[in-house]
Amino acid sequence: MRSSTQKQISKLEVNEVLSTLEHPEIPGRNLLELGMIRAIEIHDDNITVQLALPALDVPIRQDLATAVQEAVEKIRPGLSVEVKVVEMDAEKKAAFKSTARDAKNKPRVSRRIRNVIAVMSGKGGVGKSSVAVLLASALHRHGFQVGVLDADITGPSVPMMFGAQHPPEPDPNGILPVQSTTGIKIMSINLLLPDTDQPVVWRGPLISRAIEQFWRDILWGDLDYLIVDLPPGTADAALTVMQSLPLDGIVLVTSPQDLAGMVVRKAANMAIQLGIRIIGLVENMSHVICPKCGTQIDIFGKSQADQTTRLIGIPMLGRLPLDPQIARLCDQGQIERYLDPSFEKIVSRMIEIVPEADR
C-alpha cells in the first residue's frame, strides 16, 4: 500500500518514463511515438499498462513487456506493475509499419569520433562551460579535429562564446553542425531557437531525447575529440550522456571553495557508480593576478581542490586564474583567441592521460 505521505503516481509520470524507451529494432523512435502504449490504469500502487504490438507473436514481445515493466517500476519503490499485451487494430498497425519502414530506411550517418570527453561540474557558476570551450579551442590549436556538443539544453551558452549565430543546415543524411571561425564543429539547442532569449521549458525526457538526437543525428564526421558540455547537477541530462554516449572520460570543474568541492564530489561519485572514467579535476577561478605587481591573490580563500582530488582519487589537471579577459572574449564570441600558459598545460596533461584511440 502507498504511504500516507506519498502522492499517487500520475499517468503523466508513467508517460514520461515510457517516452524514454526506444524500440530496439526501430532507431530513434520510442514506444509512445509508435502508438504502442494503448492505455494506463492506476489504482493506488498498482499500475497496468496496455502494450500494443503489430502482432502478438513478434519475437521481441517478452523483451518489450519486460522493458516497460522495469521502467515503470523504477518510478518509485513498491509499485506493482502489470503489462498486458494486445494487438494493434488495422489503422494503428499500418501507421506503425510506415514509421518503422521510414526509420529503417534512413541512411546511416558516417562518423569517426575517437574520443568523447564530457565536462561536468555538479555545481553551477564555477565556469564549466568556459572550461569546455577553452578545452575545445586548445585541442584545436594542437592540430586535432574538434567538436562541441552543448548538452546544457536549458542553459545553453556555447554558441555565444564561439560567436556562432546561424542555424545548422540540413543534409539528406542528417544535420550539419555549425562551425566556428577556426573550424570547431558546434551543436546547441540555441542554434535552433528563433530567439536566443527564448527559454526551453522541457521536462527531463524531452531534454534527454534532444541530447540523444544531437549525438545520433548530427553529421559530426571525423573528429579526434568531441567535447560534451554538461549542465550542472546529476539529473536526467547527465545520466543520458553517461548512459547513451560512449564516453572516454569526464573532466570535472570546481572552484576553490569546499562548497563547490562537495557538490563536484557528488558528480564524481555518480560517474564512479556508472563506471565512467574521471580524467581529472580543473580548478577554475583559482586566484587573481594583480595587474600592477603580479602578486597572486587567493580571492576565494585557500583552495580546497587538493582535498577533493584526494577524496576522489583523481589527478589535478591544473588551475585557472579568474581572468576578466575570458569574460570579455566570451561576450564578444571570440573565446578561441584566449591564450594562457596554464591552460595549455592542462590540455597537455589531459592528452597524456587520454591517448588518442581509434573508435
Q: Can you give the CATH number for the domain in which 235 is found?
A: 3.40.50.300
Written as nine digits, the cell of 348 is 597537455
Q: What is the pLDDT of residue 86?
A: 94
Q: What is the pLDDT of residue 106?
A: 56
Residue 309 lies in a domain: yes
530496439: which residue's cell?
24
Q: How far is CA 290 from CA 11, 150, 215, 321, 340, in A?
A: 58, 33, 43, 11, 16
In the predicted model, residues of the chain with pLDDT beneath 50 are 1, 107, 356-359
Which domain, by its residues, includes 88? 11-105
Same domain, 54 and 116: no
Same domain, 141 and 281: yes
Q: What is the pLDDT of residue 359?
A: 36
Same domain, 160 and 286: yes
Same domain, 116 and 79: no
Q: What is the pLDDT of residue 50?
A: 94
Q: What is the pLDDT of residue 132?
A: 94
- Please name which of 237, 212, 222 lies closest in space to residue 115, comparing C-alpha atoms: 222
The H-assigned helical ranges of 254-340 are 258-273, 305-312, 324-331
Per-residue pLDDT tens for 253-282? 988 776 766 878 888 888 888 888 999 999
Residue 6 lies in a domain: no
Same domain, 52 and 141: no
Same domain, 57 and 167: no
pTM across the whole model: 0.68
Q: What is the pLDDT of residue 358?
A: 37
Q: What is the pLDDT of residue 356?
A: 44
Q: What is the CATH number of the domain that holds 23?
A: 3.30.300.130
Same domain, 131 and 270: yes
Per-residue pLDDT tens for 17-37? 888 888 887 877 788 888 899
Q: What is the pLDDT of residue 357?
A: 38
Q: What is the pLDDT of residue 150?
A: 95
| Distance between CA atoms of residues 37 and 20, nearest Å | 13
Same domain, 178 and 34: no
